[in-house]
Chain A
Amino acid sequence: MSLKLAQQMLRAPARRRFLKSAGFLSLGFAIPLVDVHSQASAPRLPGDLNQHRRLRAWIRILSAEKAVQLLVGKVELGQGILTAVVQLCADELDVDMARVQVVSGDTDLVPNEGVTAGSFSMPNCATAVRQASAEVRVILLELAAARLGQPAAGLKVADGMIEGSGGAKVSYWDLVLGQALEREANGLAKPKPASEHRYIGRPIGRLDLPAKVLGQPVFVQELRPAGMVFGQVVRPPTYGASLQALDAAPIERMPGVIKVIRNGSFLGVVARREAQAQAAAQAMAQACRWKVPERLPGTQAMPAWLESTKPDRVIETHKKPRSNGAAVVRTVGASYYRPYQMHASIGTSAALATLGVDGVLRVQTHSQSVFETRAAIAKMLGMTLDKVRLQHVQGSGCYGHNMADDAAADAALLAVAVPGMPVRLQYSREQEHLWEPYGSAMVMKPQASLDAQGNIQDWKMTLWSTPHGTRPNSEPGNLLPALYLEKPFAQPKPQNGGAPNFAADRNAVALYDFPGQEVLTNFIAEMPLRVSSTRGLGAYANVFAIESFMDELAHQVQADPVEYRLRHMKDERARDAITRAAAAFGWSSWRKTAGRGRGIAFAKYKNIAGYCAVALEVEVNRSNGRIRVLRAVASADSGHIVNPDGVSNQIEGGLIQSLSWTLKEEVQMNSTQVLSSDWTSYPILTFSEVPPVEVVLIDRPGMPFLGTGEASQGPTGAALANAVFDAIGVRLRQLPLTPDRVLQALKG
């Protein structure tokens, strides 16, 4: 939700109650508040409109303000989704963008669209908004037609003003809607063709940017309601440690301390000032005695641990036996490794929680999953759902399931101990680095059988991975503090997501048209380090392996890496993405010089979302092992482009983040704890290391929105390793590609 709205609601409970009771009014018309799934006879509607079919769940006409209220369950994470949905709404409704007010991620107000993740917001939310807006426009035109006594077909609309023949006019704001928007969408209205778009397809500036550049309050970290106090938690020294002894009395006497909260091994403090809360937390941490288990594999042993641990499930992700009978002349394989890597948000996670006099716990949070996190928090506290409200307020970029939900849960636990006081909590850098759920470590072993022409006949990929999904999912056991309460919640056993999105095996099936292909996933449910969804899940590692191995095969059969890929690829859009990236890079005119190399790689994210190919050039210093990326080119086909600058920003940002993962990032651990506790022990890419990036957009007007946020990471990692091979003739299969690993590889 917008911060402005959040603050208005904090200040004006009367208005909030009105909104809430207005929602309940619709019960009087026998229209359920929670939309039901489509009945057998009802048409399939676009995106999340299918689950939330009532138009008023999405769109309301605010006559007094001459504005449109757009309600969405997806939230702004810095990816620009709220700007894109406003573009769509404004175009389909024929109003200026400035008239569209977005409410997002408020469990009391918006349709439950699940988690904002997986590059699903464009396909599921944006398509729903487009259809709902188009249908509301039809309804408004019908009302206007009746009012003006003219046929709807002859009416024109500009910025909400409807004009008929003979100068007859009526505006959206003058129409009496009554129950018109209470009806369900019917799927009959046709969205506009591209030729009639005013905003869609244009690089509209991000609506949230001016406030961020001018220093206006935007972020949850900037909420400061009257009477706010500060919370801190004390974490155990490592996973699974239990509290043996603590004398809390001296902490309670420290300056400004309002309350010390101790519930099993969960420890927290609430104080008047932020520094007082931090001082008390620090003193408490020093006063604790913990029992610390020793059970981590350690950084170096992690690849072997993955291969030697008995998997919870061996999943046949894909099996297509070959039937062509072609003769195979040789079979080759390789083993690749991706370590644990962090989300590593620049802002540590935070939340503001208040237990109101009405008994409602309000949590302002940058969670990606306000509804499911609400349910998890309610269960953790033994409260009913109607007594817990989550409101999304922007936080630092998260790139997946970071500690946003943990912060919401921690703040909630502290807030219920000090009723009436708004408690704001923000983690220290160490807490965020040490406790966030990392991207899982993985081992990938592709193997290929080649015919006499060097073509791939059989392809087999085997992978080993711990889980990629421990999101709140309405279960308190997925919230970090709930594991340490006196009556702890058990963490539910994580599952691997199946088709079509997959999780550990996301993008493990190569899009190439191999005559035979098989993918086997060793899913290890055990979690030495806490893990969850990190941008792309298994896709980054699997694409790194597939596209590195394709490069190895191309070199083995002395084929050009671009030609070799195209040789095995029928999908026209994939071919287009590869060809255009190669052309923009200048692949065919590139000449090799000493120490330099080029690499290319491709993937279609999840094999169902955006297409992306990356080509880049590196220089490798043989004496110190340093890799410098000189330039990068990415092509992107995300279907019909709503905001070209938004797509470009996501593709380039994903590429740069992936360069950082690929060159530098590995969570370090010993046998008891994580050692990567700050930006020195877990460095990320800096300005001087970022190359120029060119993004080639491939627009597909009229085609479905495919989503963009996770398209470029996989191809970038492989393109980089391929370029390093081209530069020094040595293949690096273990991430990250650090100077030490380069030197070691050069020594052979």
Chain B
Amino acid sequence: MIRFKLNGQNVQSDASPQEPLLHILANDLQMNGQKFGCGKAQCGACAVLMNGDPVRSCVVPLAAADGRSITTLSGLSEGGKPSRLQQAFIDEQAAQCGYCTSGMIIQAQALLDRNPKPTDAQVRSALDGNLCRCGAHNRIVRAVLRASKGA
């Protein structure tokens, strides 16, 4: 039995410890943010925070979550109220299809936690491993910078 914290709540899973954490989050624990994109840690759509660090849940086995704290997209908001970063994505309309959005927000949150006032170039560098096909890149960067500038 693997036990970990999911968005502040204690959860457990009796699935095979080798199953990807992504499957456990999406299929068993009904989490919607992180998405399957490549299964190879190449695109970032499945990013979640593990003890505050961004990880690619498509290649992280369930066993690695044991005793850790996992945060998904919905874990960033409080009582359904968007976090500052989530609100900035809405304010900047920083998406088209929105499939990569969860991974973008998770990756950007990890950046802001380390570096609350990043430059444009630092935001781009932090998001270079997250792929967007719709071409919403500049909007996404603006959203992260907006969130970093305070409420």
Q: Which residue numbers of A lie inside 8 Å of B, CB to CB? A: 77-80, 203, 205-206, 208-210, 212-219, 221-222, 224, 230, 273-275, 344-348, 394-397, 399, 426, 428-429, 645, 649-650, 652-657, 678-680, 684-688, 690, 692-693
Contacts and interface: CB of A to CB of B under 8 A. Distances in A.
Given A652-B135, A678-B42, A690-B137, A212 B98 contact: yes
29 contacts: A205-B93, A209-B95, A212-B102, A214-B74, A215-B33, A215-B75, A215-B102, A219-B35, A219-B99, A273-B23, A273-B27, A274-B27, A275-B15, A275-B20, A347-B97, A348-B38, A399-B133, A429-B38, A429-B42, A650-B96, A678-B38, A678-B42, A684-B131, A685-B137, A686-B128, A686-B129, A687-B125, A687-B127, A688-B128
B148 interface: no
Contact of B32 (A203, A210, A216, A649): A216
Interface residues of B, number: 61
Contact of B131 (A219, A230, A395, A679): A679
A213 B90 contact: yes
The secondary-structure label for the interface of chain A is loop
Contact of A214 (B39, B73, B138): B73
A684 B86 CA distance: 26
A498 B121 CA distance: 46
A655 B135 CA distance: 8
A688 B130 CA distance: 11
A214 B82 contact: yes
Given A650-B96, A656-B138, A693-B138, 8 more contacts: A78-B134, A203-B93, A217-B32, A273-B19, A429-B40, A653-B135, A687-B137, A688-B128
Contact of B138 (A80, A274, A645, A652): A652
Contacts, number: 175
Contacts of B9: none
A203 B33 CA distance: 26
B102 to A, nearest CB: 6
B43 A275 contact: no
Interface centre among B43, B80, B134 (most CB of A within 10 A): B134
Contacts of A274: 23, 27
B15 to A, nearest CB: 7
Interface string B98-140: 1111100100000000000000010111011111111111111
A679 B124 contact: no
B73 A649 contact: no
A397 B136 CA distance: 12
Contact of A347 (B19, B82, B86, B99): B99
A690 B124 CA distance: 9
B37 interface: yes
Contacts of A429: 37-40, 42
B31 interface: yes
B141 interface: yes
Contacts of B137: 656, 685, 687, 690
B36 A221 contact: yes
B133 A397 contact: yes
Given A274-B27, A657-B133, A679 B38 contact: yes
Contacts of B102: 212, 215
The DSSP consensus for interface residues of chain B is loop
B98 A78 contact: yes
Interface in B13-59: 15-16, 18-20, 23, 26-27, 30-33, 35-40, 42-43, 45
Nearest to A214: B77
B4 interface: no
B39 A215 contact: no
A692 B99 CA distance: 22
Nearest to A256: B16
Given A213-B86, A655-B135, A686-B128, A396 B27 contact: no
A656 B23 CA distance: 32
A345 B97 CA distance: 10
Contacts of B37: 346-348, 429
Contacts of B96: 78-80, 397, 649-650, 653
Contacts of A77: 97
Nearest to A203: B93
A684 B133 contact: yes
Given A206-B95, A224-B27, A687-B130, A679 B135 contact: no
The 7 closest A-B pairs by CB, nearest first: A78-B97, A656-B135, A653-B135, A397-B97, A215-B74, A215-B73, A212-B98
B35 A221 contact: yes
A26 to B, nearest CB: 36
Nearest to A228: B27
B99 A396 contact: yes
B8 to A, nearest CB: 14
A215 B95 contact: no
A209 B90 CA distance: 7
Contacts of A653: 96, 134-136
Contacts of B39: 428-429
Nearest to B103: A346
Interface string B62-97: 000000000011111100101000100110010111
